Chains A and B, each alone.
Chain A
């Protein structure tokens, strides 16, 4: 079953497909130019010691994102 959740709620090791990125401006641009656009598959690789930021696997590379930045990203998960 496919459901939509926010990136912040994803567990370590969980993967999913980005459904939408609802932010414009500098943050939106940074997120998109790093490859996080609708249709991209991501996987949660780990979290920093204080659970924030989060490290993601995107297109064969590892990216980091703060939790409050991840809140703009909606993900489709199995």
Chain B
């Protein structure tokens, strides 16, 4: 009778886990999160030939099961609490010794394991031959040699898995000898644990004792809280004392640590097995593989950085050049939709809500979709090929100074490190960073970069007030963004994200040609996550922003004033037209009329905006923002800029009663600002700084919340960035005033 059961897929990062998972489950995947953490949980269904439906959970890639990183805690807790029927332990045949370290820990835990000896074809090419049957005998675990990439051996692997799952055996932990000191301590601690039934419902006594000796923070904490609940503080004390005693002893006698002894013995166990004729090398082990040859050039001390710059620029151009066309399609689609409802619906709030609020808001957000798709396709190529790890390797020395990680460079560049990126994919790209504090510091500072939406605003300000050296000013602002992002990152790492740097012990995986299937799945996942967000949270926020800029509407008395003006003008022109017509001359009066009517329309819109909630907010903020030189019009524009930075221009246009300003042709706005005596270089520079560094747009904030795993970080970035930008703008503005600069 076919049944359904759950298995886990586990292994080191770079073992080919994702490739195997994609091959087994194809499109039948579900991506979620493990409760309470930002680690992705991927599940999928595999229907076996015998009709069993196998639920496969893809555990995060880890090197160990000791709880240091979130990934390790998640993987271990899943095995212990969900008890999958089988664990497929995917290992790299060409790097077997290191990959068996994790295998040892599955065996010690006791969970039924089937080893998938992946990349057997690569190993063969490298002249490594493995006696699979012999290894299986020695480890007492079924092993199947596979190539997840070509599909070789995968069917057989699943047949073996099904067989093991059907046997449904009890967990049988394997005992590895750790030498006199450790083994003696384990025995003593086991007695204690068993006599008091200390956590024995969850863990086996030997495993628990071993984790104590490995100084596993999660287990020790669990022991503490269990002791508290069951009045067994003495047992917990006793266990911890024993660990301390052993620690002191081995430090004094052998200058080492219990956890080091455990690791050494695990590798000793692996070596003792592999030495029994399991692996033979046909070629010299130190032979340079193709991958090493590529690295000689690509990570060369001189050529490396040049090639890296070229690759990053290439990625950038690929994304922002090729996504232009689909972005324009989407824009015209939403433009068409807006036009359609514009004609269909009568004037009023419903029309305004639908056209400006919903279609405008969601359309603006959906406009990012092609950029995200292209960007993640590019990143997937860099990641799957192994190049991203090299970038981290080369950049680490610089970024470490600021408390970041070599991998932070990607997020910065995507966000606009080369002016014109976008912080949304930038924040999402921090997922490739595995160091939690460095990752947080990166994702909180990446929005400081000059994204594509800030550019038109900056360009207008520069064009109006610094027209003599536009290119230099723009370049200076790009540099400034980097300096500020790095310094703020350092500040965060010294304060709210304080902590030791995460070790950089990292693998440089061999270069591989990415598979199209892998790239497609990777890209689609990211894009879909984004679209889902756009459809829910962002829709709500669009409506909210529309409401603040629309309500309360102008009182009827004021509307009447504008209405009267309109009628007056129309009437006077009708009269004029009649006269001219009688005289027989044809003058394009209607054009002049349209112009004047538009002016009234714009004045009314400006007045309405001033009267709205956003306008009131803008005016009440004047009491603070005058310090930085901003009046209420600028304030409203900045409030609007929270929806999307490019909105700053159109809102400023409306506030100056110019009608909505087309982003591409800010001509009249530029003239108005240049002619306005309240504007000068100091105010323009102050505004440029504020726009660069104040709160990220709300799409980015939503992404920060999602990536950081808590709305608090979203709120933090809004508040912190705005206060920071305000302080910066105010000091610069006041300093300029003081020095008499600006005019």
Contact = CB atoms under 8 A, between A and B. Distances in A.
A39 B271 CA distance: 10
Given A33-B63, A53-B393, A61 B98 contact: yes
Nearest to A60: B95
B95 A61 contact: yes
Contacts of A40: 267
A2 interface: no
Interface string B94-121: 1101100100000000000000000000
Contact of A62 (B271, B285, B400, B507): B507
B94 A45 contact: no
A37 B505 contact: no
A43 to B, nearest CB: 7
A67 B34 CA distance: 35
B383 interface: no
Contacts of B256: 20
Given A31-B505, A55-B299, A60 B264 contact: no
Contacts of A51: 301, 397
A52 B507 CA distance: 15
Interface in B483-515: 500, 502-510
Contacts of B508: 55, 61-64
Q: Among A39, A43, A49, find the residue whose CB has the most chain B CB atoms closer than 10 A.
A: A49
A49 B396 CA distance: 10
A35 B92 CA distance: 14
Contact of B260 (A28, A43, A48, A58): A28
A24 interface: yes
Contacts of A35: 97-98, 101, 267
Interface in B292-312: 292, 295-296, 299-302, 304-305
Interface in B381-414: 389, 393-394, 396-398, 400
A65 B505 contact: yes
Nearest to B501: A66
A41 to B, nearest CB: 9
B97 A60 contact: yes
A30 B397 contact: no
Contacts of B500: 26
A27 B504 CA distance: 9
Contacts of B393: 48, 53, 55, 64
A24 B505 contact: no
B506 A63 contact: yes
B64 A52 contact: no
B286 interface: yes
A10 interface: no
A5 interface: no
B394 A49 contact: yes
A50 B503 contact: no
A16 to B, nearest CB: 13
A24 B215 CA distance: 10
Q: Which of B64, B260, B300 has the most CB of A within 10 A?
A: B260
B724 interface: no
B326 to A, nearest CB: 37
A46 to B, nearest CB: 6
Given A20-B255, A21-B260, A28-B259, A64 B101 contact: no
Contacts of B350: none
Contacts of A55: 295, 299, 393, 508
A11 interface: no
B299 A50 contact: no
Contacts of A20: 255-256
A64 B400 CA distance: 14
Residue of A29, A30, A57 contacting most chain B CB atoms (<10 Å):
A29
Contact of A64 (B302, B304, B504): B504
Contact of B255 (A22, A28, A52, A65): A22
Contacts of B259: 24, 28-29, 32
A46 B295 contact: yes
Contacts of A69: 503-505
A51 B500 CA distance: 22
A15 B398 CA distance: 27
Contacts of A29: 64, 66, 68, 259, 263
Contact of B396 (A24, A32, A37, A48): A48
Interface string B617-649: 000000000000000000000000000000000
B397 A50 contact: yes
A40 B285 CA distance: 14
A37 B255 contact: no
A35 B12 CA distance: 13
Nearest to A35: B98
The listed residue with most B CB atoms (<10 A of its CB), out of A24, A30, A33, A46, is A33
Given A29-B68, A53-B393, A59 B504 contact: no
Given A34-B505, A49-B304, A59 B257 contact: no
A20 B101 CA distance: 19
B400 A66 contact: yes
A63 B63 CA distance: 13
B394 A48 contact: yes
Nearest to B296: A46
Contact of B504 (A37, A38, A46, A65): A65
A32 B394 contact: no
A40 B68 CA distance: 24
Contact of A53 (B304, B504, B507): B504
Contacts of B263: 29, 32-33, 37
B285 A33 contact: no
A38 B296 CA distance: 28
Interface in B61-78: 63-64, 66, 68
Given A27-B503, A33-B64, A66-B504, A50 B398 contact: yes
A48 B299 contact: yes
A45 B66 CA distance: 29
A20 B254 CA distance: 11
Contacts of A49: 301-302, 304-305, 394, 397
B101 A63 contact: no
Interface centre among A35, A39, A58 (most CB of B within 10 A): A35
Most buried by A among B63, B271, B300: B63
A57 B505 CA distance: 13
A52 B396 CA distance: 8
Nearest to B400: A66
A69 B304 CA distance: 23
Interface in B681-731: none
Interface in B532-560: none
A6 B271 CA distance: 25
5 smallest beta-carbon distances between A and B, as pairs:
A32-B263, A50-B397, A62-B508, A30-B505, A24-B257
Given A34-B98, A55-B295, A64-B504, 4 more contacts: A50-B397, A50-B398, A57-B286, A58-B98
